[in-house]
A = this chain, B = another copy of it.
Amino acid sequence: MTFRYQEIAAHLRDRIRNGTYRPGSCIPSIRELMREFGVARDTVRDAVSRLAQEGLVTPKLGIGTVVRDNSLVTLAYRKDHVSQTWAVQTGEAEEVGDVIVQAGWDVADPHIKERLGLPPGARVVYRVRHQRKGADLCQIHEQWIPEEVVLAIRDATGVDLSDQSVVPPTDLFTLMRQSGSSPAEVMEAIVARMPGVEEGETLGLPPGVPVLITRRITVDSQARPLETSVFTGAGDRTSLSYTVPLPAEGAA
C-alpha cells in the first residue's frame, strides 16, 4: 500500500539527502512538481507538508519551499555541571541576550505551590526571561521564587527581584548564597512535545519543530525548595547538556 504522495515525498527526501536540493535553496515549486509527477496540486502539497512536519523543509509564502539546514545539533559536551548550550543552526556564534520581560508578585498556581512546598495562600515572585540568540528568541524562562527567599535577598543585598527594571548584579544563585540560603541541588525533568499555536508564534517556530520543556526545582542542603522554573525552548535551537558524577553503583 504505497501512495503517490508517499512516493513523491520519498523522492524529495532522497534529493535533499543526496544534495540535489541544498540547504537554504528551494525545492521546485508545487506547480513544477505537479508537472514532473503528473499529479494534482493537493497531492504535491500533501507530500511537501509531510516533509515540513519532519522538519526537512519550510514552505515560505511568496518565495518557495526552502530546504532546512538541519546541521549538526550541538555535540559540545561541556564540563559545566549545569549548562545549556545553543546549537549553532547556521552561521557562526551570535550574541546571546537576556531580557526580563516580566517580574512581580503573584499568587502562584496550586501546581507551582506544590513544587515549592508552599501553603495555599503563599505569595511568590514570578519572573519571565527571554533568551535570544542573535535576533531570534530561543528560550522562555519562567521562574517562581518563594516570598521568604525574595525578602531575604532584598534584606541582605538590596536587590528587589519583584522589580522588572532592576538588573541583578549577579546571578540568582549567588544572591541566594549572599542572603543565607545555599542552593545545593537542582532537579530537572525534561519533556518534548509539539508547540501550541501561541507558543509556536512567540518562539517563531517553523512547522515541524517541537519544544523542549525543562522543569527545575532548586533546593538547599535541607531539601527546602528555593526556586522553581520552567524553560521552554525551540527544539531546533536548544540542546541541553548535563554532566553527572556517578554514584557507587549505577545503571547502564
A174 interface hit (Cβ, 8 Å): yes
The 0/1 profile, CB within 8 Å of B marked 1, for residues 235-251 of chain A is 11011111111110111
B74 touches A207 (CB 8 A): no
Partner of A185, one of B171, B212, B243: B243
Q: Pick the contact of A243 from B85, B187, B215 — CB < 8 Å?
A: B187
A188 touches B242 (CB 8 A): yes
The A contact surface, by secondary structure, is: mixed
User: Is the Cβ of B194 less than 8 Å from the Cβ of A208?
Assistant: yes
**Number of copies of this kind of chain in the complex:** 2
Which B residues are CB-close (under 8 A) to A63? Answer: none
**A192–B130 alpha-carbon span in the complex (Å):** 20
Once A171-B250, A183-B250 are accepted as A-B contacts, the answer to whether A212 and B240 lie under 8 Å apart by CB is no
Which A residues from 99 to 131 make CB contacts under 8 A with B?
A: none
- When distances are taken between beta carbons in the complex, the residues of chain B under 8 Å from A54 are 194-197
Q: Are A191 and B77 in contact (CB under 8 A)?
A: no
Partner of A191, one of B211, B235, B242, B247: B235
A-side interface size class: 35 or more
A14 adjacent to chain B (CB < 8 Å): no
Residue of B70, B171, B173, B244 touching A82 (CB-CB under 8 A): B244
Contact between B186 and A244 (Cβ–Cβ < 8 Å)? yes
A8 within 8 A of partner (CB): no
Kindly state the separation between the CA atoms of A187 and B85 in the bound complex, as whole angstroms: 13
Query: From residue A106, how far is it (CB to closest CB) to chain B in Å?
Result: 18
B239 touches A242 (CB 8 A): no
Residues of A within 8 A of B (CB): 42, 53-55, 70, 73-79, 81-83, 85, 87, 171-174, 183-197, 207-212, 215, 217-218, 235-236, 238-247, 249-252
